Structure 1
Amino acid sequence: MADGRDLTGQPGAGAPVDEPRPEVEHPAPLEWEADVVLKDGTVAHIRAITPADADRVRAFHSRQSAESIYLRFFAPLRELSDKDVYRFTHVDHHDRVALVATLDGEIIGIGRYDRVDPTSAEVAFNISDHYQGKGIGSVMLEHLAAIAQEFGITRFTAEVLPQNRKMLTVFKEAGYEVSHHIEDGVVEVSFFILPTEQSKAVQLSREHRAEARSVRTILFPERVAVIGASRRDESIGALVMSNILAAGYQGELYPIHPEADQIQGVRAYRSIREVPGPVDLAVVVVPAAQTLEVVKDCRKAGVKALLVLSSGFAEAGDEGVKLQEKLRKRVRRAGMRIVGPNSFGLINNDPSVRLNASLAPVIPGTGRLGLFAQSGALGVAVLASAARRGLGISVFASAGNRVDVSGNDLMQYWIDDPETDTVGLYLESMGNPRKFSRIARHLASVKPVIAVSSGVSSFAAPPGHRTRTTNVPPQAFRALLRQAGVIRVENVHQLFDVAQLTLHQPMPRGDRVAIVGNSDALGALSGSACLSWGLKVTHGPVSLLPQASAEEFAAALDAAFADPEVDSVVAAFIPPLVTLDEEVSTAVRTVVAKYEKPCVATFLGMRGVDGGLDYVQHDGVSRSVPSYGMPEDGIRALNAVTRYAQWRSRDRGTPVAPVGIDRARAEGLIDAVLAEHPEGRALRRDETRELLSSYGIRVWPALEVTGVDAAVEAAEELTYPVILKSTSPLVRHQPGLVGVRGDLVDADAVRDAHASLTERLGPLDADRFVVQRMAVPGVSCVLKASEDPLFGPVVSFSVAGPPTELLDDVAYRIPPLTDVDVTDLIDGVKAAPLLAGHRGAAPVHRAALSDLIARLSVLADNHPDLSSVELNPVNAWTGGVDVLGADIVVRPALVRKDPGRRRMT
């Protein structure tokens, strides 16, 4: 692949061949480094080129075919001159940027751009013959485009030979609007690189396909090696071998043992390198200290992925942390993927695989529930609970210390997996919430996702988990789950309560519920539970006599299901005194099968889907009525599924895109502040107003004054009526300390107010004032955006005063936001009725408030160096919104976990 004559050291629109050599080397930006999953599921490393790559570039060129060299250089250039190599490897990482893709330390692709004017650059690529077709060119284009935008470049150009169809396809399929024309036998290509909805969709689709394929390689291995297989019955190596064999693994199995010829009746090999042919998955159960050597052997043997069950890594202390990081880097360098270390294992019940590469000797049967857990102990609990409920699983995975494969990767796979209908996640920590939210939203749009979360937000992650600390409250994480359509539950018990409903019953079409049973007490309990969860009881509770016949049960249920005002049915029965249990079960199955409405049942003494309530729907679909120990359990699950069904059926909205934004101006101001204060600082009042104005946010002027005469002068400049208020933080947070005087209509009023506040606040050193125009009456609100080390940008909204300060009535959302997200954010506070005209007050201008939130969210999303932005107070009233105060702190931010280009965490 090739294009761009001027980027090869030959004459063209870029810099000439004999340009002067720079005297100072420019350090390669470390934040550009990224591991990426290629189209075939292997892993490559992307980084900036350095002068130390000279020999690697020569070696790369020497391996290229004559055709590839001609397409790249437009000439049969068999060897690179020293001048060419120097030009390739010495760049300024600003106007001239070059990236390399490496695998096992060897360059397999080069991409670069050279700026030709302030807003455009010429781009070129050269991909190894042996790795073409794996998506390397597409990945490098994404990374170069993201880097170029950081430096104000908005357009890429390229020159491509007409026969270079692969490179033309890369540009065409990137999602950009590409224009091209032919001149002198060369195709000249041009396109704007600013992200569009189409280009972002293409990027995410490619990421999804690559990561899903890499997980499928792990879950569907045709050849599995057990490194550390043992002849000792009590060893983990023996247990893993036994479990793989007992499950009836359908592929080829290779135990690896330095001395044994046979283990559990299977031929053993001394080393992974002696195994005939490549291995898809190596299960590693050797001591932690030996794993690095194992990785080296696996790399030489061409192993595609590792499952490391061995413990003794980051969960064991500082030395283990260092060992774990070495393991991660060595595996990534080799282009492999790794599950673990300290993993409980993998299970795939697909009949074509039947793989139990886990520490669980007994596993649930085949079903349509996909499960993900992190620690081994919780893996045991999750599998045992599923088995007790009679719930079969499709796939189970334990990520252990999660150095690579995580729940995000499994979710990518489950999006398209036809054998999985519901996904359950036990999350003890989270390494990349933004990516989780993005993938979970995609998955939840087609399948229910149920998450038990702990160790996230302000709580510490379990030992061994690689994650950043977070400063946001737990409510922010819960908001992220709601935003993504994930059903959040509190424990494993509730996870399976919900799963058995989603797997075996249709989705409810609304929140109207019928209650039928044979106990007044259970009926009343069920009704109270429905009301507490916000479900509407529109039929019943109907309580039959305890001695009612099966026919009477069936008639009552049939009437409930047939009621057009009913969306779901709750059936709550105590053991009948006369009628046999089997007769009741038959009656329930027969009636439920006639309708496309969900039913949750309580048959005291029964829990799960044990076969007693199985039935076949009229369309041939096999289902079961899930049974719960008590009505509250079933109704809690029904409420969760009802809210999920509502989320799934509603319009997701469109991404907010406010007009009148000058991103470059804001970026310039932030960069100027950080250039003078690398550690960051709070912006001055004038800087704050300028920065916000670049995003269309106008802050009302507030003039600082010293002395009463200055206050009067400021009031006359702003025009009456005005307010005089203290700038001291002490006044804001101390009940009873009023630091503001309003409705000042003339100079005398200003003088009186200044004297009063000075007398009151002077002893507290809070007599520093500003004068501002008086706003019309409205609802005072607080809007905030903060850059969190883990979550990235977080936006919050609340009504000022006691709701915020005393009741913590604050709603959160994670950008990027849609218009529906903005609406949900405003409605997410309990004080929201104040905005709609509480007790006869005029309702606020919702559209103006929504626009302000949208602008703040885009500002926070675009500029990670904005540590915090607070708009307080924001006066929302019937005619619009007025930003009366604002504070901004600028501080260098960590590289976000989910940047605008593909990368593994």
Structure 2
Amino acid sequence: MARVILRDGGVAELRKARFTKEDVGQIRNLLQSVSEESLYFRFFQVIRDFDDNAIEKLIGDGGPTALTLMCSDGHRALAIGSYQRLGEDSAEVTFLVADDVQKRGLGSLLLEHLAEVAYLNGVKQFEASLLTDNERMMHVFSASGFAMTKKEESGIIHLVWPLRHNERSRALQETRERLATAASLHTFFHPKSVAVIGASRAPERLGHVIFRHILSSDFKGTVYPVNPTAASVAAVKAYPSLKDVPEQVDLAVIVVPASQMLSVADECIEAGVKSVMIVSSGFSDTDPPGTELEKTVLDRLRAAGCRMIGPSSLGLIQMDPHVQLNASFAPNIPDVGNVAIASHSGALGITILDYAARIGVGVSSFVSLGNRADVSGNDLLQYWESDPATEMILLYLESFGNPRKFTRITRRITRHKPILAVKSARTPVGVNVAKSHTVAVAAEDATVEAMFRQTGIIRVDTLQELFDVAMLIRAGKCHSGRRVAIVTNTAGGAVMSVDRLLREGLEFVEPVINLGFEALAESYRVVLPQVMRDPSVDAVIVLFTPVGSSEEEAVRVAISAALCEVANDPAGEGRHPYDKPVVANFLTTGDYRVRYLEVDSDRCIPIYPFPEQAVRALAKMTAYHEYRDRDFGHIPDLPDIDTQAARSIVRSALTSDVERAELTRDAIKEVLKALGTGVTLCDSVAPAGMTVEIRVDSDPLFGPLLRLDLAGQSASSIMQVPGLLPAVRLVPLTDADAREIWHDACARANVGAVEQEHQAFVLDLILRLSQWIEDVPEVSHAKFHLKLTDRLQCMEAKVEASRVPYNSWTIDLA
């Protein structure tokens, strides 16, 4: 069973229908309750009497020959989608949607998931027949993005389309998901009424604290304390239960013991609440019984179309002036700003908010995710993606729930909004600690690093660094590059800065401009514009060590004046001087926070307490700008490739009684031929040449990963070298990804110039293998050991397949 989000933000259950009394009853009720028009469009006749045999045939065997997916609200079937196999490669697909829930996207959802399940069962194409006046179903098919062929005859339209996803179909599917998810979270961030269930009169109790914070945040809606034994809480009239509250409640904040949660959840359902945040602990964060209780609560809320944050959430904040809601334990909230924050750790999340308030980083919204039983980080990212109040996203992560989805979402967002992330649990010990207090699932840190690089996420190591980079990005619109100049009055700070620049992969523009200590403020004002106008300089680091009590303010004024001067320079060729970032380090004592030097209404200069902080923040922003400037590439249409033929070869190794198999050498030859690789699988020893190893592994979290190693190095040996990460990318790869993984592999193996023909050959092979792995989910592991000579010779090859797909597209519909 899986949660799906409908077009209007409602929530429903999606699962495979089974031949049970309950499912047969729900399907029969759907058939008997829809209009005659709906029946006619579905069956080409009006028929309501279906015996158990007919329904059993409709339900099918769960996928190999027939399947029905059922979308339910927990009480009745809202819609069903079915396919019946017509032959080895094709299946016919049909749909029936209840009249009162049409136009909510159920048909599109069923089609997407049916296509995924059918493909995993070896179906290559769908067919559908519909009456010409069935405009709604025709719209569902047209809007799917699949490349369809259409034939019309005698008032019936016959459609045929391959099930392999293309870029358009995936983009449309992601757009539908993003809009639906954002709609489902709307009342969390824009409630008109909030009820705090468990609001206590005792000031030290959590329910009282969170209720007080809502009051003091000047919430623009209405807040109701719910307490069965108190007449009032904080001088506000209390209500014994949710049903007694005099208006519809949009958001329920629950602060009661876990033992009372089921009855409170039922109250919320009865009252029609669509957004619930559970602050209480005692669920999957504690023990197996708590995990089971959490599942039961979630199932009840989900069946009622209700979304849930938590349990063990420490709250939510929405800074929109039209809302102003602090439903959290944060005593100090930041100013209104454009930074959204999500935290897996509640306590650290509160600390992050406190630090943001102290250094002046404005926040648009904040969520402590808690156990993430329902609302996840992926959901929040999709909400903030289109939120006009959010321009930057900060994440504290301990694990990934659905990494493949996280990758798709973040790759889309980072092209126009920066995402900064602290990913903890990077070591085995850290992983064990994370597991001890969350439901974290750890991934190899090198894989996480590869994902962040591939998606453009700015990864930082500490919470301090998180804000160091955030403050630089929000200081103003500028564009960084790798060539950095240093203007200073202290040689010691310059030495530290240069060392750090080179370690971060930036380039130092010599010489260090040392102003000394005479006429210091005027020297900064005169020299800084000259440096910024230098076309060989992309960014400037300003270092200052005061020698007199009054000098700091004079230097601040001088630096601001210098930037104002270059701002008025006429536009010319190349980068305008004002577009170049400037970061500063003032080695003062007493206050070690990052501060801003105001230049004008659009620009600030961050002043860091230590030079290393300034350099590292600049390096992170530079890497992000390089990511945004790059060619993101596309998944190319490769000539002479037949992944379906290659898939048939793989599937032929998996007979009915074989769950896993290793392909024979002859089968691998046929696969390489079907993929159009031009690779020769040989038995003899190849002449001298560069060694290339390409591996595909199925990570339990991230799905298929492609690794490239050159010059005979293995991934295991490279992982032992400090600071080096494997050349790895998540499948599918774009042509830009292929070029980058080649570059990474060459750099790691210290390989110099490679013949263009050989490079092109390897890049083409990488893309063909990537497409093969994407289209053939049965492949669980593959390894190709090659020699680059006058032709590409494969000396060793191994391909393992599994009947249970490792890199399944689909969600769990069991």
Matches within 5 A, 1:362-441: 362-441=332-411
Task: Please tell me whether residue 496 in structure 1 is matched to residue 467 in structure 2.
Answer: yes
In structure 1, the residue corresponding to 2:285 is in which secondary structure? Answer: helix
Q: Please name the residue that 1:819 is paired with.
A: 735
In structure 2, the residue corresponding to 1:556 is in which secondary structure? Answer: helix
Residues 311 and 373, structure 2, Cα contact 8 Å, conserved in 1:
yes
Could you list the per-position Cα deviations for residues 6-56 of structure 1 after superposition, in whole angstroms to 9, with x for gaps in the alignment? xxxxxxxxxxxxxxxxxxxxxxxxxxx432111122221112222332221
Task: Please tell me whether residue 209 in structure 1 is matched to residue 173 in structure 2.
Answer: no
1:87 positional shift: 4.8
Which of 581, 592, 595 is 1:598 aligned to?
A: 581
Residues 94 and 151, structure 1, Cα contact 8 Å, conserved in 2:
yes
Question: How far apart, CA to CA, are the structure 2 residues paired with 1:70 and 1:802?
Answer: 64
One-letter identity of the residue aligned with 2:702: F
Which of 610, 616, 619 is 1:630 aligned to?
A: 610
Residues 117 and 810, structure 2, Cα contact 8 Å, conserved in 1:
no
One-letter identity of the residue aligned with 1:354: Q
Question: How far apart, CA to CA, are the structure 2 residues paired with 1:210 and 1:300?
Answer: 24
Task: Please tell me whether residue 50 in structure 1 is matched to residue 18 in structure 2.
Answer: yes
Matches within 5 A, 1:663-678: 663-675=643-655, 678=658
Residues 657 and 854, structure 1, Cα contact 8 Å, conserved in 2:
no
One-letter identity of the residue aligned with 1:156: F
Q: Please name the residue that 1:646 is paired with.
A: 626
Which of 849, 852, 858 is 2:771 aligned to?
A: 858
Question: How far apart, CA to CA, are the structure 1 residues paired with 2:673 and 2:645?
Answer: 10
Residues 507 and 642, structure 1, Cα contact 8 Å, conserved in 2:
no
Question: How far apart, CA to CA, are the structure 2 residues paired with 1:569 and 1:835?
Answer: 33
Residues 467 and 790, structure 1, Cα contact 8 Å, conserved in 2:
no
Counterparts in 2 of 1:468 and 1:681: CA distance versus 1, 3 Å: farther
Matches within 5 A, 1:870-881: 870-872=783-785, 874-877=786-789, 879-881=790-792
Task: Please tell me whether residue 528 in structure 1 is matched to residue 499 in structure 2.
Answer: yes
Q: Please name the residue that 1:773 is paired with.
A: 684
Matches within 5 A, 1:546-625: 546-577=517-548, 579-593=550-564, 594=567, 595-605=578-588, 608=593, 610=595, 613-617=597-601, 621=602, 623-625=603-605
Q: Please name the residue that 1:219 is paired with.
A: 189
In structure 1, the residue corresponding to 2:185 is in which secondary structure? Answer: helix
Counterparts in 2 of 1:282 and 1:537: CA distance versus 1, 3 Å: same
Question: How far apart, CA to CA, are the structure 1 residues paired with 2:261 and 2:511?
Answer: 63
Question: How far apart, CA to CA, are the structure 2 residues paired with 1:405 and 1:457?
Answer: 27
1:187 positional shift: 4.2
Q: Percent identity?
A: 36
Counterparts in 2 of 1:530 and 1:386: CA distance versus 1, 3 Å: same
In structure 2, the residue corresponding to 1:451 is in which secondary structure? Answer: strand
Query: Could you list the runs of 5+ residues in structure 2 that have no partner in the other structure?
Result: 568-577
Matches within 5 A, 1:97-496: 97-180=67-150, 182-455=152-425, 459-460=431-432, 461-463=434-436, 465-466=438-439, 468=441, 470=443, 473-496=444-467
Residues 19 and 56, structure 2, Cα contact 8 Å, conserved in 1:
yes
1:233 positional shift: 1.1
Could you list the per-position Cα deviations for residues 267-323 of structure 1 after superposition, in whole angstroms to 9, with x for gaps in the alignment? 322222333444222111111122222222222221112111111112212222222
Could you list the per-position Cα deviations for residues 370-428 of structure 1 after superposition, in whole angstroms to 9, with x for gaps in the alignment? 11111112112211221232211111111111112222111112211221221111111
Residues 111 and 124, structure 1, Cα contact 8 Å, conserved in 2:
yes
Q: Please name the residue that 2:574 is paired with.
A: none
Q: Please name the residue that 1:799 is paired with.
A: 710
One-letter identity of the residue aligned with 2:134: N
Question: How far apart, CA to CA, are the structure 2 residues paired with 1:852 and 1:80?
Answer: 53
Deviates more, 1:79-88 or 1:585-594: 79-88
Which of 467, 471, 477 is 1:506 aligned to?
A: 477
Could you list the per-position Cα deviations for residues 523-553 of structure 1 after superposition, in whole angstroms to 9, with x for gaps in the alignment? 2322332222222233642122224243322
Residues 283 and 307, structure 1, Cα contact 8 Å, conserved in 2:
yes
Question: How far apart, CA to CA, are the structure 1 residues paired with 2:128 and 2:404?
Answer: 33
Residues 111 and 125, structure 1, Cα contact 8 Å, conserved in 2:
yes
Question: How far apart, CA to CA, are the structure 1 residues paired with 2:689 and 2:402?
Answer: 39
In structure 1, the residue corresponding to 2:80 is in which secondary structure? Answer: strand
Q: Please name the residue that 1:711 is paired with.
A: none
Q: Please name the residue that 2:696 is paired with.
A: 785
Question: How far apart, CA to CA, are the structure 2 residues paired with 1:338 and 1:238?
Answer: 21
1:129 positional shift: 2.2
Question: How far apart, CA to CA, are the structure 1 residues paired with 2:413 and 2:738?
Answer: 22
Question: How far apart, CA to CA, are the structure 1 residues paired with 2:54 and 2:98?
Answer: 18
Question: How far apart, CA to CA, are the structure 2 residues paired with 1:131 and 1:71?
Answer: 16
Question: How far apart, CA to CA, are the structure 2 residues paired with 1:207 and 1:115?
Answer: 28
Question: How far apart, CA to CA, are the structure 1 residues paired with 2:548 and 2:365?
Answer: 42
Question: How far apart, CA to CA, are the structure 2 residues paired with 1:179 and 1:693?
Answer: 28
Counterparts in 2 of 1:837 and 1:557: CA distance versus 1, 3 Å: closer
One-letter identity of the residue aligned with 1:215: L
Q: Please name the residue that 2:8 is paired with.
A: 40
Counterparts in 2 of 1:551 and 1:272: CA distance versus 1, 3 Å: same
CA-based RMSD: 2.8
Counterparts in 2 of 1:392 and 1:903: CA distance versus 1, 3 Å: farther
1:603 positional shift: 1.6
Task: Please tell me whether residue 847 in structure 1 is matched to residue 760 in structure 2.
Answer: yes
Question: How far apart, CA to CA, are the structure 1 residues paired with 2:105 and 2:280?
Answer: 33
Residues 364 and 387, structure 1, Cα contact 8 Å, conserved in 2:
yes
Counterparts in 2 of 1:474 and 1:442: CA distance versus 1, 3 Å: same
Question: How far apart, CA to CA, are the structure 2 residues paired with 1:288 and 1:641?
Answer: 44
Question: How far apart, CA to CA, are the structure 2 residues paired with 1:244 and 1:547?
Answer: 55
Question: How far apart, CA to CA, are the structure 1 residues paired with 2:270 and 2:693?
Answer: 59
1:494 positional shift: 0.6
Deviates more, 1:432-441 or 1:172-181: 172-181
Q: Please name the residue that 2:573 is paired with.
A: none
Could you list the per-position Cα deviations for residues 55-77 of structure 1 after superposition, in whole angstroms to 9, with x for gaps in the alignment? 21232244434544444445555
Task: Please tell me whether residue 828 in structure 1 is matched to residue 744 in structure 2.
Answer: yes
Question: How far apart, CA to CA, are the structure 2 residues paired with 1:893 and 1:183?
Answer: 40
In structure 2, the residue corresponding to 1:591 is in which secondary structure? Answer: helix
Residues 778 and 876, structure 1, Cα contact 8 Å, conserved in 2:
yes
One-letter identity of the residue aligned with 1:557: L
Question: How far apart, CA to CA, are the structure 2 residues paired with 1:476 and 1:351?
Answer: 40
Q: Please name the residue that 2:570 is paired with.
A: none
Question: How far apart, CA to CA, are the structure 1 residues paired with 2:475 and 2:334?
Answer: 16
Counterparts in 2 of 1:160 and 1:699: CA distance versus 1, 3 Å: closer
Counterparts in 2 of 1:667 and 1:807: CA distance versus 1, 3 Å: closer
Question: How far apart, CA to CA, are the structure 2 residues paired with 1:242 and 1:372?
Answer: 22
Deviates more, 1:43-52 or 1:117-126: 117-126
Structure 2-normalised TM-score? 0.90
Structure 1-normalised TM-score? 0.82
Residues 584 and 605, structure 2, Cα contact 8 Å, conserved in 1:
yes
Question: How far apart, CA to CA, are the structure 1 residues paired with 2:292 and 2:482?
Answer: 52
One-letter identity of the residue aligned with 1:571: V
Q: Please name the residue that 1:715 is paired with.
A: none
Counterparts in 2 of 1:572 and 1:831: CA distance versus 1, 3 Å: closer
Counterparts in 2 of 1:820 and 1:155: CA distance versus 1, 3 Å: same
Could you list the per-position Cα deviations for residues 583-630 of structure 1 after superposition, in whole angstroms to 9, with x for gaps in the alignment? 22222223334222211111223555645x12325xxx3x32111111
Question: How far apart, CA to CA, are the structure 2 residues paired with 1:868 and 1:87?
Answer: 36
Residues 16 and 62, structure 2, Cα contact 8 Å, conserved in 1:
no
Residues 713 and 749, structure 2, Cα contact 8 Å, conserved in 1:
no
Query: Could you list the runs of 5+ residues in structure 1 that have no partner in the other structure?
Result: 1-32, 703-771
